[in-house]
Chains A and B, each alone.
Chain A
Amino acid sequence: MFVDWIVGHAIPLLLFIPAVSGVIAWLLDRDSFGELKDVFGLIGGLSPLVIIAITYGRLGDGIKWTVDTGVFKLFFHLGYMSWYLSAVAAVVAAAMAFGMVSTSRSGYEWMFALFSVSGLLGVFLSGDFAGFFLFWELMTFASFMMVLRYNKGASLKYFVLSIIGAYAMLLAIAILYAKTGTLEFQSLRGMIYNSIYGMVPLTKTDTILVYALFLLAFGVKAGTWPLHVWAPDAYSETNQSYTSFFSGALSKAGVYGFVLMFILLGIKLYVDMGTFHGHMVFTYILAWLGAITVVVAGFLAVLQEDLRKLLAYSSVSQVGYIVLALGIGSGIGFAGAFFHILSHAVFKGLFWLITAALILRTGKTKFEDFGGLAEKMPVTFAMALIAVLSLAGIPPMAGFASKWLIYEAAISAHMPLVAGAIFLGSGLAFAYVVRFLYSIWFGQRPSDLEDVEEAPLPLLIGMAILAIPNIVFGIAPGLAVKLINKFIPNSGVAANGYYSISTGVGTYNALSVTLILVVGLAIAGLIYIYGAKARKIPVTDTYQSGNPVTEDYNLSIRRNFYRPLAEALEFWLRYSFDRFYARLARMAEDFADSLREGFYNGNVQSYSWYLAIVLLILALWGVL
Chain B
Amino acid sequence: MFDWKLILEAIGMIIYATFVGFIFMGIERKAMARIQRRIGPPIYQPIIDTLKLLGKKESVSHGFIYDFGPIFALGASITALLFLPIANFQLFSSNADLIVVAYLLEVPMLGIMLGAMSSGNPYSAVGVQRGLLTMVAMQLPYGLALIALIQYYGSFKLSDIVALQSLHGWSILVPALLIAMVVFDIVFQAMLGLEPFDIITAPAEISMGPMVEYGGKHAALLFTQHAVQLFAETAFFAILFLGGASNLLELLVKQIAVLFIAIFIASIYPRFTIDQAAKFFWKWPTILGIIAVLLTM
Q: Do A and B come from one complex?
A: yes
Known: A420-B147, A437-B114. A557 touches B122 (CB 8 A): yes
Question: Across the interface, do B278 and A395 meet the contact criterion of CB distance under 8 Å?
Answer: no
Question: Across the interface, do A544 and B122 meet the contact criterion of CB distance under 8 Å?
Answer: yes
Q: How far is the CB of B236 from chain A (nearest CB, A)?
A: 16
Mask: chain A, 430-458; 1 = CB below 8 Å from B; 0 = not: 11001001100111100000000000000
Question: Across the interface, do A516 and B220 meet the contact criterion of CB distance under 8 Å?
Answer: no
Q: How far is the CB of A546 from chain B (nearest CB, A)?
A: 10
Mask: chain B, 39-67; 1 = CB below 8 Å from A; 0 = not: 00000000000000010111111110101
Known: A420-B144, A513-B100, A537-B62. A520 touches B274 (CB 8 A): no
Question: Across the interface, do A416 and B148 meet the contact criterion of CB distance under 8 Å?
Answer: yes
Could you say which residues of chain B place their CB within 8 Å of the CB of A542? Answer: 62, 119-121, 213
CA distance A438 to B125 in the complex (A): 8
Q: Does any Cβ of B come within 8 Å of A31's Cβ?
A: no
Question: Across the interface, do B104 and A395 meet the contact criterion of CB distance under 8 Å?
Answer: yes
CA distance A544 to B218 in the complex (A): 19
Known: A542-B213, A543-B207. A513 touches B96 (CB 8 A): yes
Stretch at the interface among A102-110, A113-121, A169-177, A563-571: A563-571
Question: Across the interface, do A562 and B100 meet the contact criterion of CB distance under 8 Å?
Answer: no
Stretch at the interface among B29-37, B74-82, B162-170: B74-82
Mask: chain B, 203-228; 1 = CB below 8 Å from A; 0 = not: 00001000011001110110011000
Q: Does any Cβ of A come within 8 Å of B157's Cβ?
A: yes
Mask: chain B, 153-184; 1 = CB below 8 Å from A; 0 = not: 01111000000000000000000000000000
CA distance A105 to B111 in the complex (A): 39
Question: Across the interface, do A527 and B220 meet the contact criterion of CB distance under 8 Å?
Answer: yes
Known: A416-B297, A517-B75, A534-B60. A561 touches B120 (CB 8 A): no
Could you say which residues of chain A place their CB within 8 Å of the CB of B128? Answer: 434, 438
Q: How far is the CB of B217 from chain A (nearest CB, A)?
A: 3
A372, A442, A562, A565 — most chain B CB neighbours (10 Å) = A442
Q: Does any Cβ of B come within 8 Å of A580's Cβ?
A: no
Could you say which residues of chain A place their CB within 8 Å of the CB of B290? Answer: 416-417, 420
Q: Does any Cβ of B come within 8 Å of A161's Cβ?
A: no
Stretch at the interface among B20-28, B129-137, B246-254, B258-266: B129-137
Question: Across the interface, do A417 and B293 meet the contact criterion of CB distance under 8 Å?
Answer: yes
Question: Across the interface, do A505 and B155 meet the contact criterion of CB distance under 8 Å?
Answer: yes
Could you say which residues of chain A place their CB within 8 Å of the CB of B126? Answer: 557
Majority secondary structure of chain A interface residues (helix, strand, loop or mixed): helix
Could you say which residues of chain A place their CB within 8 Å of the CB of B77? Answer: 520
Q: Does any Cβ of A come within 8 Å of B107's Cβ?
A: yes
Partner of A520, one of B79, B96, B106: B79
The number of chain B residues with a CB under 8 A from chain A is 91
Mask: chain A, 523-540; 1 = CB below 8 Å from B; 0 = not: 111011011111111111
CA distance A556 to B104 in the complex (A): 29
Known: A416-B147, A423-B142, A423-B143. A524 touches B78 (CB 8 A): yes
| Nearest-neighbor residue (CB-CB) of A557 within chain B | B125
A411, A507, A540 — most chain B CB neighbours (10 Å) = A411
Question: Across the interface, do B151 and A539 meet the contact criterion of CB distance under 8 Å?
Answer: no
Question: Across the interface, do A437 and B107 meet the contact criterion of CB distance under 8 Å?
Answer: no
CA distance A438 to B120 in the complex (A): 9
Question: Across the interface, do A564 and B117 meet the contact criterion of CB distance under 8 Å?
Answer: no
Q: Which of A498-524 contact B (CB under 8 A)?
A: 500, 503, 505-509, 512-513, 516-524
Q: Does any Cβ of A come within 8 Å of B92's Cβ?
A: yes
Could you say which residues of chain A place their CB within 8 Å of the CB of B122? Answer: 544, 555-557
Question: Across the interface, do B96 and A419 meet the contact criterion of CB distance under 8 Å?
Answer: no
B59, B107, B122, B220 — most chain A CB neighbours (10 Å) = B122
Taking A536-B61, A562-B129 as known contacts, 13 extra A-B pairs with beta carbons closer than 8 A to each other, sorted by chain A number, are A374-B65, A374-B118, A412-B150, A416-B148, A431-B136, A503-B156, A506-B157, A507-B97, A516-B79, A520-B74, A520-B79, A524-B78, A527-B221
Would you give 11 A-B contacts (Cβ < 8 Å), ordered by A?
Answer: A375-B63, A416-B144, A427-B139, A516-B92, A519-B78, A521-B71, A524-B78, A531-B220, A532-B59, A532-B217, A534-B217
Could you tell me which B residues sit within 8 Å of A by CB distance? 14, 54, 56-63, 65, 67, 70-79, 82-83, 92, 94-100, 103-104, 106-107, 110, 113-114, 117-123, 125-126, 128-130, 132-133, 135-140, 142-144, 146-148, 150-151, 154-157, 207, 212-213, 216-218, 220-221, 224-225, 273-275, 278-279, 289-290, 293-294, 297
